[in-house]
Chains A and B, each alone.
Chain A
Amino acid sequence: MNVAIFILFALLCLGGALNLLLQRHPINSALSLIVVMSSLSVLYLLLGAEFLALAQIIVYSGAIMVLFVFVIMLLNAGEEERTHGSRAAYFAGIPGVLALFAVLAGTFVTLRLSFGGTRLGAFLVTTGDLSRVLFRNLLLPFEVTSVLILVAILGAVVLARKEH
């Protein structure tokens, strides 16, 4: 059952990601990205990370993608024009991507045993567990990340501000 759900949503996720690249209209790409985000949240749920799954929906599928769609609607972005792409992309890009994929896949396969594993659906991280880890063991990195986001917001404000 769990494996069936995993395969279904993993396929949906990959299909959404491919569709995101292949669609010519930005709004269709944005909607495919929403599908990717939402199916990722189902995968989190299968791993027992219930808070993370819903945070994924609320933050990514909800807030961030709404802003994407909002900007696309506001700028009334038209369809993308297809070109044949540069020759460099064919000769360097595709082998590069394949090499990167091979390295990542190799790393995961070799490190798989030292990470340890769990069966799908055999594990549940409650919100309490998660917050205990976040706010006790990992408090400093957590707070530093929030400062990072604050810096990004300040940067956006500075860039968008009109000069007097």
Chain B
Amino acid sequence: MNIPIFVLLNLLKVAVVTVIFLMAVAYTVLLERKLVGRIQNRWGPSRVGPFGLLQPLADGLKLFLKEDLMPSAVFRPLFIMAPIIALSCALISIGVIPFGENIRWHGVDMFQIADLNIGLLVILGVTSVGIYGIALSGWSSNNKYSLLGSLRSSAQMVSYELALGLSVIGVVLRTGSLRLRDIVNLQNTHGILSWNIFGGLQIVAFFIYLCAAFAETNRTPFDLPEAESELTAGYHTEYSSMKFAMFFMAEYANMITVGCVATVLFLGGWSSPFGDLFPAFGGPVAQALLPVFWFVLKVFSFLFLYVWVRGTLPRFRYDQLMGFGWKFLLPIAVLNVMATSLVLAFHG
């Protein structure tokens, strides 16, 4: 193996994935604005570029050029650190997600940045550290709305993390591995029938994961940390310019990551829904890129669902939110783990 080429290719891979990820974040914002617009019977952004396709560029430029206001009574070091923590945690977890088959070129895995034995745990760990971004931003802003928003958010994320963690255990039990490639490979045999959500009978786990993931990313119907009618803007009330943009990007990056994890765990990752029904076509390049297409399509439908839910459901009340997490999702998740282990013990 040629070491300089190996290092160079790896750096290139990281750069490419990061750029694509950030572009995807920008366009998810546009997707949301367009879709929510159509759901509410209006057009959404349509002026900048064809169909408003250049809108993210204009938004980014606007945020970048805005004055960076620093309120006088904030706790400076944490006020600056909080958005950095939020965004970096949101960006790290994409590093363990496999986008396509394990195809190597000069010894470099083309479609995954890091193939870890404990990839799933890394994602859970990074998510749990990401809470600090929100918790510290609210506290350091010296603003009661921000503080309330961040208190709500920390409590909500800690509560739903339990349900989230338990919901993926069924999948891990079935696979017997925490490596994301192993989890996808198990679902790769008979197309849609062997995906964990159908063939693995993990549909309950998928439902729990879905609810917990919506709560973890602070999205409607669980967007209480930033409930604008009661908390102005929640934890990022005092932020402006790029610091606000970092929170904004972190939220959408988390949405995409959650979509990627759901795809990998429950929807068969990069595997085609038809299995080997159709003969292979095209050259090796087409065969390498087709799985990536399926992966992107699945993540896209997950993001579509996110926006659809936002346009449809009203917000929970806070006690309803906590009750739902602790009294409903958690017991079901425990039952799902027990049922899956029993089935695996007697039939597996």
Contact = CB atoms under 8 A, between A and B. Distances in A.
- Chain A interface size, as a band, is 20 to 34
Interface in B144-169: 147, 150-151, 154-155, 157-158, 161, 165
B147 A73 contact: yes
Majority secondary structure, B binding face: helix
A27 to B, nearest CB: 7
Contacts of A51: 118, 121, 178
A63 B158 contact: yes
A50 B118 contact: yes
Interface stretch (B129-137, B191-199, B267-275): B129-137
A61 B129 contact: yes
A10 interface: no
Given A27-B78, A69-B136, A70-B154, A126 B131 contact: no
Interface string B122-143: 1011011101100110110000
Given A27-B78, A69-B135, A58 B128 contact: yes
A67 B135 CA distance: 10
A33 interface: no
Given A27-B139, A58-B125, A73-B147, A66 B131 contact: yes
A115 to B, nearest CB: 26
Majority secondary structure, A binding face: helix
Given A66-B154, A127-B178, A50 B117 contact: yes
Interface in B74-102: 75, 78
A69 B78 CA distance: 13
B117 A70 contact: no
Interface string A20-64: 000000010001001000100000000000110011011001110
Contacts of A27: 75, 78, 136, 139
A55 B135 CA distance: 21
B128 A62 contact: yes
Contacts of A62: 125, 127-129, 131, 161
Interface in B105-131: 116-118, 121-122, 124-125, 127-129, 131
Contacts of B129: 38, 57, 61-62
Given A27-B78, A50-B118, A127-B178, A69 B124 contact: no
Contacts of A67: 158
A74 interface: yes
A127 B128 contact: no
Interface in B283-335: none
Contacts of B125: 54, 57-58, 61-62
B121 A58 contact: yes
Closest 5 CB pairs of A and B: A62-B128, A54-B121, A57-B125, A73-B139, A58-B125
7 contacts: A27-B78, A54-B122, A58-B165, A67-B158, A69-B132, A73-B147, A73-B150
Given A62-B125, A62-B128, A66-B154, 8 more contacts: A38-B129, A54-B125, A57-B128, A61-B125, A63-B128, A63-B161, A66-B135, A73-B147
